[in-house]
Amino acid sequence: MNIWVIPCFLSAGGALLLGAVLYRKKADNPIFGPLALVMVVLAWIQGLNGFIGIFPEYLLIGKQRILFGEFAFPLALGFVTSTFLQHFSPTSIQRNRSKFLLIRAGALILCAWLFAWPESVLQLAPNGEIVFHRVVGWIMWGFILLALVIGLSQLEQILRLARDPLRFQMKFVVIGLGGLAGISIAQASQLLLLPVWSQANAWVGGVASCLSLTMIAWGLVRWRLHDLNQKVQVSHQALYTSLTFLCVGSYLILVGIVAEVIKETGWEIREALEALLVFVSGMGLVVVIASRAARAKLQRFVSRHFFRTKYDYRQKWLDVTDTFSACDDSQQIWDRYLEWLVRTFGAPRVTIWKRFDVDGQFHQIRTVNSEDPPPAIVESHAFIEYMLVHTEPFEIDEAGDESEGLTEFLQQTEAHICVPLVTSEGNLLGFCTLSRELHDRRYDHDDFDLLRAITHHVTMLLVQFQLVEERNVTAKWEAVHKFSGFYLHDLKNLASSLSMVVQNAEQYGHDPEFQASAMRTVRTTSQRMMDLMAKLANQSKGLDTKTEKNVQQVDMNVLIHETLESLNGAGCRPSFHPGSGLPQLPLQAEPMKQVLLNVILNARQAMDEKGAIDICTGSDGRNLNVEILDTGPGIPMSRLENLFQPFTSSKKTGLGVGLFQCKQMVEDNHGKIRIESQEGHGTKVILTFPTGTSDIS
């Protein structure tokens, strides 16, 4: 027997054995089926390589059969990579679907060609080597090389997208598959340059396949051992009892050995010494067993040296500290929170949702997926109310009927775990979702404990940054107040210059040159005064919305009519559709007119004076609603999140206080303002006032 064929038979046998095990366990993991197919193809190639090494008379027909396996190997490898990528990046499957279809079609065409005209592909040389015809050989080996390079790039993408701990578990499997692809690429490149195949190629391929199979097998063993470690656990009490029996047994054996040594000494008092030894050792054993301190030390020893949690919490806390220590605002906290979730858990889909004050809905603000975000979830949905009651991480299935009406949400996020971010006051800031970990590995109590602790930390950080932002806003308003003093100083100086003109007019009023100079001074000064007063009014407006207490019974339809009559200038004029039977409300009329005017002017500017604005009123018995709908370009998600925050404006000359001022005025009148908008579909502003409010405080 030719010893050079031993690696071929070893790799073929190992591949068959590993493929049988994978096929038997394919129900446990979706990746095992495609891996079993790769093992079968490899066993076919290496088994035939070993066969023709023993029976060289079948060299030509054997190599023809081996070529069928060479064509099938890239297809099997692509099957494995596509199964992996379905969990990591479904969009990449769509992008690479055309490549997989081309490889499949090319393999079928080349297999048909080889089956129909094998003599046009390869021939047997007199020296026992196989020679490929140049043109056909170049086509076939070029196709194999290209297909394997694509498969190898997909394996690299899998390693890049995978996160620990999943990457730690699967990396040897992926590296082993890469080794199989790599040796095939090397041999295909060699045959492209020199289209001659010899038995040495089979020996090199067999050795490389053995090494790659060893790495794949080791990766699978470690993979399965990790699963077994997560499922099987020895209780503290069982291990403590076993160690107690072991220690007592070892102690008694040692006492027996000492007693036997005393017996062999031949001393006259050996029997007495044996009895004394048994008595003392027995008393000492009872004392130790009855000692609470000794039992506590043994239990600490067991806990410290025989048991460990899934996570090193000390290391995790240091990781969290490093992750969030450099955050300067709440947006960075959301970014780092997503990074930490992706880095810590093996879930291929992670999303973060936040409640927007502008519309009271929960929007997806962060995700690792590339698809369009699902629709926002309204605050009154039963799923949101469930999170307000169950404030700890929970499985979506536990929500039961509360998850109904979230079909698109569940389809796009594949949410399995939901983690609410609830403040100590019971306010839901948002929530995050995690899909099932790859290969449907379940989350255990350690995962939930870690999520609970870190989410509480993130919630506290968000609350702290919210307080900081509110203090910054207060500081800016105080700065506006202080800055208004400079405006008053300038106004005083300008008034003084006008006073000087009046005083000099009594003496030089008849002088034409003085008259011309005085007119220039008056014109310039008045313009500067108007500019200063306009700036001062814009900056100080909205600071003291609570100081006006002129509350009166207001008919909302009349108030809107009066506001529309005050509009002037070019541009679209709003269409008003008043509701009937509306109750009168105790409101501050002028601030409400200012709110309506601000919203209408914003809509005009957004539409660039082109489009339509519709205003309608109505009542549902409990609330009076005013809706202002425009057909403008809508508000982007990036602006919608912080629309009510002061000093943030999209206008070049704006101060960013208009909507903040409107919100303050509406809330001062016991109302609420919501803005619903989608980019490209217009904007709706909804003002809601309770009809049962009797006074304004």
Note the pLDDT tens digit of each residue in 350-380: 999 999 888 888 999 998 876 778 888 888 8
Helix (H, G, I), strand (E, B) or coil at 126: coil
Any idea what the Cα angle at residue 632 is, between residues 629 and 636, rounded to 5°? 100
Give the HSE-up count for residue 618: Cα atoms under 13 Å, Cβ half-sphere: 7
Distance of alpha carbon 129 from alpha carbon 123, whole angstroms: 9
Q: Contact at 8 Å (CB) between 80 and 31? A: yes
Task: List, for residues 413-456, the tens digit of each pLDDT value.
Answer: 888 899 999 998 889 999 999 988 766 667 877 788 889 999 99
Q: Are residues 589 and 651 in the same domain?
A: yes
Q: Would you state the pLDDT for residue 95?
A: 64
Q: Is 359 exposed, middle or buried (0-12, 13-18, 19+ CB in 10 A)?
A: buried
User: What's 118's domain CATH number?
Assistant: 1.20.1070
Helix (H, G, I), strand (E, B) or coil at 395: strand
Q: How far is CA 59 from the centre of its chain?
A: 55
Among residues 595, 587, 566, the alpha carbon closest in space to that of 663 is found at: 595
Q: Are residues 622 and 534 in the same domain?
A: no
Q: Are residues 566 and 639 in the same domain?
A: yes
Q: Contact at 8 Å (CB) between 61 and 161? A: no
Distance of alpha carbon 84 from alpha carbon 32, whole angstroms: 11
Q: Would you state the pLDDT for residue 479?
A: 62
Distance of alpha carbon 62 from alpha carbon 403, whole angstroms: 59
Query: Is 535 inside a domain boundary?
Result: yes
Query: Is 120 inside a domain boundary?
Result: yes
| pTM attached to this predicted model | 0.50
Using DSSP bridges, classify how beta strands 613-619 and 394-395 pair: parallel, antiparallel or unpaired. Answer: unpaired
Structure tokens at 482: 């202080």
Q: Are residues 10 and 142 in the same domain?
A: yes
Query: Is 317 inside a domain boundary?
Result: no
> For the chain, what is the total number of helices (H) and then of strands (E)?
20, 16
User: What's 567's domain CATH number?
Assistant: 3.30.565.10
Tell me phi and psi for residue 673, to 5 degrees: -125, 130
Give the HSE-up count for residue 226: Cα atoms under 13 Å, Cβ half-sphere: 15
Q: Are residues 227 and 243 in the same domain?
A: no
Structure tokens at 627: 């809706």
Q: Which residues contact 182 (CB under 8 A, 6 or more apart)?
A: 152, 208
Task: List, for residues 232-253, the tens digit of each pLDDT value.
Answer: 455 656 666 777 778 888 888 8
Instruction: Map 356-391 to HEC letters.
Output: CCCCCEEEEEEECCCCCCCCCEECCCHHHHHHHHCC
Distance of alpha carbon 167 from alpha carbon 175, whole angstroms: 11
Distance of alpha carbon 388 from alpha carbon 421, whole angstroms: 9
Task: Select, from the ranges 112-116, 258-262, 464-468, the one with the highest average predicted confidence (pLDDT).
Answer: 112-116
User: Crossing angle for the helix pair 445-508 and 313-324, nearest 10 degrees?
Assistant: 20
Query: Is 380 inside a domain boundary?
Result: yes
Distance of alpha carbon 182 from alpha carbon 188, whole angstroms: 10
Distance of alpha carbon 510 from alpha carbon 519, whole angstroms: 13
Distance of alpha carbon 560 from alpha carbon 370, whole angstroms: 44
Q: Contact at 8 Å (CB) between 344 and 458? A: no
First CA to last CA distance, the chain: 102
Q: Are residues 338 and 421 in the same domain?
A: yes
Q: Contact at 8 Å (CB) between 444 and 310? A: yes
Q: Which residues contact 569 (CB under 8 A, 6 or more apart)?
A: none
Q: Are residues 154 and 289 in the same domain?
A: no
Query: Is 134 inside a domain boundary?
Result: yes
Task: List, for residues 59-95, the tens digit of each pLDDT value.
Answer: 888 888 889 989 999 988 888 888 877 766 656 666 6
User: What's 397's domain CATH number?
Assistant: 3.30.450.40
Q: Give the pLDDT band of residue 697 (cuts 50, 70, 90).
A: very low
Return the amino acid letter for 151.
G
Domain count, the chain: 5
Q: What is the mean pLDDT of residues 511-526?
A: 74
Q: Contact at 8 Å (CB) between 381 and 405? A: yes
The residues that bridge with 458 in the sheet, in sequence order, are none
Q: Is 151 exposed, middle or buried (0-12, 13-18, 19+ CB in 10 A)?
A: buried
Q: Give the pLDDT band of residue 458 (cuts 50, 70, 90).
A: very high
Give the chain's radius of gyration (CA, Å): 40
Looking at per-residue pLDDT, the higher value among 60 and 480 belongs to 60
- Give the helix/strand (H/E) hosting 402: none
Flag whether pLDDT at 586 surpasses 80: yes
Flag whether pLDDT at 328 surpasses 80: yes
Query: Is 313 inside a domain boundary?
Result: no
Flag whether pLDDT at 32 surpasses 50: yes
Q: Are residues 336 and 385 in the same domain?
A: yes
Distance of alpha carbon 551 from alpha carbon 584, whole angstroms: 12
Task: List, for residues 89-132, the tens digit of each pLDDT value.
Answer: 656 666 667 777 888 888 899 889 888 888 888 888 877 788 88
Print the domain residue range for 136.
3-231
Q: Which of 202, 231, 260 is the last residue of a domain?
A: 231
Q: Would you state the pLDDT for residue 342?
A: 86
Length of the chain: 697
Distance of alpha carbon 596 from alpha carbon 590, whole angstroms: 10
Flag whether pLDDT at 270 surpasses 90: no
Burial 192-227 (b: 16+ CB within 10 A, else e): beebebebebbbebbbbbbbbbebbbebbeebeeee
Task: List, for residues 593-619, the tens digit of each pLDDT value.
Answer: 888 888 888 888 788 767 788 999 998
Query: Is 682 inside a domain boundary?
Result: yes
Q: Are residues 40 and 76 in the same domain?
A: yes
| Strand ranges (E), 415-555 | 415-422, 428-435, 551-554
Query: Is 479 inside a domain boundary?
Result: no
Q: What is the mean pLDDT of residues 664-680?
A: 87
Q: Which of 178, 211, 231 is the last residue of a domain?
A: 231
Distances (CA, A) of 638 to 377, 467, 683: 17, 21, 15
Flag whether pLDDT at 229 surpasses 50: no
Q: Which of 245, 271, 306 is the last residue of a domain?
A: 306
Q: Are residues 570 and 509 in the same domain?
A: no
Tell me phi and psi for residue 615, to 5 degrees: -120, 130
Flag whether pLDDT at 547 surpasses 60: no
Q: Are residues 226 and 253 in the same domain?
A: no
Q: Are residues 46 and 150 in the same domain?
A: yes
Q: Would you state the pLDDT for residue 432?
A: 93
Q: Would you state the pLDDT for residue 655?
A: 41
